[in-house]
């Protein structure tokens, strides 16, 4: 069971974006973030802010709802932004090459439930709960001790 390492509330899209930028500062190649939350929670907004903060010239970051995978070149190397809502079997995950990417690239994955057994055990789950209006609760959960150390840096300085 993953335990909650940190949680916080944001009261605006900009605050969530700022938090995403801070998380981006502690990432390295091979890190996998699982973005969990209902439609409109802010998963894509979080991913967009994070991705753009890792680029010298920020690109457009469309929601991957229809393409399933969008890839980016970033300061940390390849980054994959995925939306697995329409994936129905782990076979498709392998066909996409996402299992390899999760080991080598930075991966940001919306609707990660559909990874099933392919979920990396050392991933960081970011759960976003829409508390109404512009208020969101974000929980950061992992079984991996390295994330506890990385997030300590983020929450000491930024939140």
Ligand X SMILES: Nc1ncnc2c1ncn2[C@@H]1O[C@H](COP(=O)(O)OP(=O)(O)O)[C@@H](O)[C@H]1O
**Which residues of this protein are in contact with ligand X, per CB under 6 A?**
10, 12-13, 15-16, 37, 39-45, 63, 134, 136
Q: Is 48 in the site for Mg ion (CB under 5 A)?
A: no
Distance of closest approach, residue 83 Cβ to ligand X, in angstroms: 8
Q: Is 43 in the site for Mg ion (CB under 5 A)?
A: yes
- Nearest C-alpha neighbor of 82 from the set 55, 52, 51, 57: 51
Distance of closest approach, residue 105 Cβ to ligand X, in angstroms: 20
Out of 10, 16, 22, 44, point to the residue binding Mg ion (CB under 5 A): 44
Q: Toward Mg ion, which CB reaches closer, 43 or 136? A: 43
Rounded distance, CA 7 to CA 139, Å? 4
Contacts of 110 (CB under 8 A, 6+ apart): 35, 43, 44, 47, 64, 81, 82, 83, 84, 85
Out of 25, 63, 71, 139, point to the residue binding Mg ion (CB under 5 A): 63
Q: Toward ligand X, which CB reaches closer, 45 or 87? A: 45
User: In 3-state terms, what secondary structure has residue 83?
Assistant: strand
Residue nearest to Mg ion (CB): 44
81 binds, among Mg ion, ligand X, none (CB under 5 to 8 A by kind): none
Q: Which helix (H) or strand (E) holds 106?
A: strand 106-110
Q: Toward ligand X, which CB reaches closer, 124 or 148? A: 124
Looking only at the bridges linking them, the beta strands covering 136-142 and 3-10 are antiparallel
**Inter-axis angle of helices 43-53 and 13-24, to 10 degrees?**
50
- List of residues contacting Mg ion (CB under 5 A): 43-44, 63
């Amino acid at each position: 069971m993953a335990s909650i390492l940190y949680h916080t509330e944001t009261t605006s899209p900009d605050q969530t974006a700022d938090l995403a930028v801070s998380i981006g500062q502690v990432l390295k190649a091979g890190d996998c973030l699982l973005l969990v939350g209902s439609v409109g929670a802010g998963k894509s907004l979080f991913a967009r802010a994070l991705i753009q903060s890792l680029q010298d010239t920020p690109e457009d970051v469309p929601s991957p709802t229809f393409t399933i995978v969008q890839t980016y070149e970033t300061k940390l190397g390849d980054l994959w932004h995925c939306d697995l809502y329409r994936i129905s079997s782990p076979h498709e995950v392998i066909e996409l090459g996402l299992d390899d990417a999760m080991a080598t690239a930075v991966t940001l994955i919306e609707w990660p439930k559909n990874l099933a057994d392919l979920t990396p055990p050392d991933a960081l789950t970011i759960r976003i709960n829409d508390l109404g209006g512009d208020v969101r609760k974000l929980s950061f959960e992992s079984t991996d001790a390295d994330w506890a150390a990385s997030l300590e840096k983020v929450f000491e300085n930024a939140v």
